[in-house]
Amino acid sequence: MYRILYVDDQPDLLEIGKTFLEKTDQFRVDITSYSPDVPTLLNVTHYDAIISDYEMPAMDGITLLKTVRSSGNSIPFILFTGKGREDVVIEAINSGADFYLQKGGQAKPQFAELAHKIHQAVQRHKAVDELREKNYELQASYEQLAAAEEELRQQYDKLKKDEEIIRESEIRFHDLTEMLPQMVFEADVT
């Protein structure tokens, strides 16, 4: 079950949206008609997505979206509004909205489409989080391998130096053993 925060300055629409979405037993919907409350609500409760109207008196939906994104929160955000201007759609998408849906028409298909967009946005968000986590794990593994490779390289270099020292010692020992019979002979002669 996904927990959704639905923001709209029209209390009747909030109640209708809450009813339709919760009727599917896939969502738990909290509602607020005062958009400046959203940052506080996000600090208190974990939500899987935000649905917001565009035109609201205290803070419009895009300003709300920018406020949420500027705090570092990447929660799925759906702008659900009666405002259908192209410049609003472009600004919403450029500001980080996951989807833009226009209100209007019959409630049942409209909220069915909204529910579908919520699922898409939340699933995409989870996939991105999982990918980010896997990437982090992969990076950590790569760094461990790089450190192990460096350690092995240092051990190999030390072994090469030790091998060279042993080789030099063997050469000196061989030279000494070659000279030993002559030294023994000279010692007997004297």
Q: For position 82, which CATH number holds?
A: 3.40.50.2300
| Single-letter amino acid, residue 49 | A
Nearest alpha-carbon partner for 55 in 17, 85, 81, 36: 81
pTM value is 0.74
Helix (H, G, I), strand (E, B) or coil at 90: helix
pLDDT at 187: 56
pLDDT in tens, the chain (190 residues): 999 999 999 999 999 999 999 998 999 999 999 989 999 999 999 999 999 999 999 899 999 999 999 999 999 999 998 866 788 888 999 999 999 998 887 888 999 999 999 999 999 999 999 999 999 999 999 999 999 999 999 999 999 999 999 999 988 888 877 777 666 556 555 5
Count of other CB atoms within 10 angstroms of residue 149: 10
Alpha carbon separation from 1 to 21, 25, 26 (Å, rounded): 11, 7, 5
In a domain, 184, yes or no: no
In a domain, 9, yes or no: yes
Range of the domain at 41: 2-139
pLDDT at 87: 84
In a domain, 145, yes or no: no
Answer for the pair 79, 7: CB distance below 8 angstroms, yes or no: no
In a domain, 101, yes or no: yes
Q: Which residues contact 49 (CB under 8 A, 6 or more apart)?
A: 2, 4, 5, 75, 76, 77, 78, 98, 118, 121, 122, 125
In a domain, 43, yes or no: yes
In a domain, 31, yes or no: yes
In a domain, 153, yes or no: no
Domain count, the chain: 1
In a domain, 147, yes or no: no
pLDDT at 83: 66
pLDDT at 186: 60
